[in-house]
Amino acid sequence: MYTISVQAHYDSAHLLRDYVGKCARLHGHRYVVQVVLQAREVGKSGMVYDFGDLKRHLKELAEGLDHQNINEIHPFTEIESTAENQARYFFEEMKKRLPEGLGEGLLYARVSESPGQWAQYGRAPIPPDPAGQDPG
């Protein structure tokens, strides 16, 4: 199984509407988002997917949140702007941007709002080959 990952960052403000505590006030973070893509095989190029293309897709999404109040951006106008919901947003949007067949290999998106704490959204790892054979 091959696994690749890229990261991007964005600086944004947000507040938690349905929360009692200091995070109910507008505040900011320097977020780091990571996505992980997995595949059983590499292509003719010897790659799962081009790192540059994967990072470009992720940076485009991150730039849409950079220096913004996340609560004013869809879907966070309707749902809380927690790291958990941001991770789901990145996961779902990245799946849409990947070529057909690769989207199913998106393992997870992880969003860190400060060092040492993060939230992750994804699916279970790709199961072993049903025939029980190692393709490599």
- Per-residue confidence band for 136, with pLDDT thresholds at 50, 70 and 90: very low
CA count, 13 A, side-chain hemisphere, 112: 11
User: What is the pLDDT, as a whole number, of residue 123?
Assistant: 84
Mean pLDDT of the residues in the chain: 93
pLDDT, tens only, 80-126: 999 999 999 999 999 999 998 899 999 999 999 999 999 999 986 55
How is the chain split into domains, by residue range?
A: 2-122
Considering the segment(s) 2-122 as one domain, its CATH architecture is: 2-Layer Sandwich (3.30)
State both tokens at 32. Answer: 């780091």
What is the Cα 93 distance to its own chain's centre? Answer: 8
Tokens 């190029």, residue?
45
Q: Which pTM does this prediction carry?
A: 0.89
